[in-house]
Structure 1
Amino acid sequence: MKRSMKEFYYKLSKNKSALVGGYLIIILIIIAIVGPFLTTFDPVEPDYGAKLEGPSAEHWFGTDNHGRDIFTRIIHGLSITMTIGFFSTLLGGVTGVLVGIVSGYYGGKVDAVIMRLMDILLAFPGILLALALVSILGANTQNVILAVAISAIPTFARIVRGSTLATKNLEYIDAMKALGASDARIIFKHILPNISSPIIVQASLYIATAVLSASGLSFLGMGAQPPSPELGAILSDGRDYMWDAGHIALFPGLVIMLIVLAFNVLGDGMRDALDPKMNK
């Protein structure tokens, strides 16, 4: 295990941008966990005597239209946005993996029914599907996680189904069947570990999509509700002050960009490191 981790890190380290993305993600996670305990301003309490102030020594990122410190709100919002990204990817990924591996392993009518359902979900753009689901379920953080997770299921399911189809007819799987191993044992002990690479890569890439979707929903007023300091909500607060106080939208926009960029470059690097076809 240690040797395989060292080999993976060695291959990943060849892609400098992916390594930088990985370190940036670690830093952002640490800030999201520790940062809220170190801030001195209240992220939701208004201070109308300090409204629309520009960046200064006291307010590093300035203040918003309610006088709230933007740096403090971003630190608190980072944990909310990344939590939505991680949990929606976890929920959608686990469900999609189970659906995809069952579909690919059993085939036949089971495969046909499941894949047609996945095709229906894929017919809608992810953000549009999430928006429709939140509109039905109600606008709050929990429903955003559920909506973004549901939009992730078909992508994971199709990737896992394809990998399962390529793996289930290999000789060692036939040998396990001949020895009388149960379907559950074959699926979870022998197939799943051997198709984990594309799942890990897709998960790292989808977190970026989930963060964008969550921020987009909050920007539209369909996600975290005021006065929540979710990054998309902070960005939405600044759209009416783009010319007079552009810093309100600038800094949360930059943080969202950093999160998405970090996970995308890390995902690309992990794909190169885990895919044997990419290694010479």
Structure 2
Amino acid sequence: MIEQTDKNSFMQNSPSNPRLESWKTFFKKLRKNRAATVGGILILLFIIIALIGPFFVPYDGTEQNHMNKLSAPSAEHWFGTDHHGRDIFSRIIHGMSITLFIGFSSVAIGTVVGVFLGLISGYYGKRIDAVIMRTMDVLLAFPGILLALAIVSVLGGSLTNVIIAVGIFAIPSFARIVRGSTLAVKKLEYIDAVKALGASDGRIIFKHILPNVLSPIIVQSSLYMASAILTASGLSFLGMGAQPPTPEWGAMLSAGRSYMFDAPHVALFPGLAIVIVVLAFNIFGDGLRDALDPKMKN
């Protein structure tokens, strides 16, 4: 009996896993933010629709029916048809996978390159820091949409070039955020201890500094998804991104502006799709920021 009591007492007083406790605290804070929960559910729903939705849509997104042009929303065509008689609902579902692919791909480019440059700049400092940060300042001197527009103008209009342009636009933001976090982390005592043990610079940077600067990277990635989708849609709206008949939302919105008075649904539903997706990523990113910020209290 005494042994069992001592065992229970030991289990209650034994220290828990700090990493597990931190994740529990993170999810607890995230669940308390209702807006972030709604945003996360919407994002998960969008991803599922993008993956399996094109297999269940009632019509082909590129199939034309000139006998049924500019039809209003009905039971047969939920969102109506466009100026070529194509089902708008089917095109929006097909376009969701394109939009999310552009967003995730461009954010991946900006994150990988920006994080690497920020780590190198913050860790080594001096001339390396000066060269990298002045280059980032030059990129930041241009408004985001103008920088992306200039890059696409040079490379040519296509989805691949849009992804590259939006990814390059994201690099300075990630680089500056990671550099600031790296400067703070490398001054901690355990970094000096690891150096004294003879660890290489690469091991210190990627094993000891990078895990401690992941929080701002995650938050910035989720928030930048909205900007990436909005910028890509803007480029397609200007005719610099996806080319017809690709069912990209920005291109659909551009085509629908000619029928704003005769058939407003042609532009209304692609515009609403862009707004809802961008809003979902924004409110989810805000929730992540609150949950990962150590200054935020319960």
| Structure 1 contact 215–233 (Cα < 8 Å) conserved | yes
Equivalent in the alignment of 2:115: 97
Task: Write out per-residue CA displacement over residues 229-278 of structure 1, whole angstroms, 9 at most, x where no aligned residue.
Answer: 01101111100000110001111111100111001001111000001012
RMSD: 0.9
CA displacement at 1:199 relative to structure 2: 0.3
Equivalent in the alignment of 1:276: 294
Instruction: Return 6-15 or 23-32, whichever deviates more.
Output: 6-15
Equivalent in the alignment of 1:224: 242
Equivalent in the alignment of 2:6: none
Equivalent in the alignment of 1:264: 282
The counterpart of 2:26, out of the listed 8, 12, 17, is 8
The counterpart of 1:78, out of the listed 49, 71, 96, is 96
Cα distance in 2 for residues equivalent to 1:82 and 1:251: 17
Cα distance in 1 for residues equivalent to 2:276 and 2:172: 27
The counterpart of 2:162, out of the listed 117, 141, 144, is 144
Equivalent in the alignment of 2:49: 31
Q: TM-score, normalised by structure 2?
A: 0.93
CA displacement at 1:44 relative to structure 2: 1.1
- Equivalences, count: 280
Task: Write out per-residue CA displacement over residues 137-170 of structure 1, whole angstroms, 9 at most, x where no aligned residue.
Answer: 0100001000000000000000000000011010
CA displacement at 1:45 relative to structure 2: 2.1
Equivalent in the alignment of 1:107: 125
Aligned residue runs from structure 1 range 126-275, under 5 A: 126-275=144-293
Cα distance in 1 for residues equivalent to 2:296 and 2:180: 19
Cα distance in 2 for residues equivalent to 1:210 and 1:246: 26
| Structure 1 contact 273–279 (Cα < 8 Å) conserved | no
Cα distance in 1 for residues equivalent to 2:68 and 2:20: 53
Equivalent in the alignment of 2:7: none
Aligned residue runs from structure 1 range 40-51, under 5 A: 40-51=58-69
SS at 2:263 equivalent? coil
Cα distance in 2 for residues equivalent to 1:138 and 1:2: 48
Cα distance in 1 for residues equivalent to 2:211 and 2:53: 36
Larger radius of gyration: 2
| Structure 1 contact 141–224 (Cα < 8 Å) conserved | yes
SS at 1:277 equivalent? coil
* Structure 1 unpaired stretches of 5+: none
Cα distance in 2 for residues equivalent to 1:40 and 1:16: 34
Cα distance in 1 for residues equivalent to 2:20 and 2:131: 41
SS at 1:139 equivalent? coil
Q: What is the aligned-residue identity percentage?
A: 69
* Structure 2 unpaired stretches of 5+: 1-18
CA displacement at 1:9 relative to structure 2: 1.3
Task: Write out per-residue CA displacement over residues 160-192 of structure 1, whole angstroms, 9 at most, x where no aligned residue.
Answer: 000000110100000000000000000000000
CA displacement at 1:279 relative to structure 2: 2.3
Equivalent in the alignment of 2:71: 53
Cα distance in 2 for residues equivalent to 1:151 and 1:197: 21
Task: Write out per-residue CA displacement over residues 96-155 of structure 1, whole angstroms, 9 at most, x where no aligned residue.
Answer: 000011000000000000000000000011111000000000100001000000000000
Cα distance in 2 for residues equivalent to 1:258 and 1:201: 19
SS at 1:278 equivalent? coil
Q: TM-score, normalised by structure 1?
A: 0.98
Cα distance in 2 for residues equivalent to 1:276 and 1:247: 45
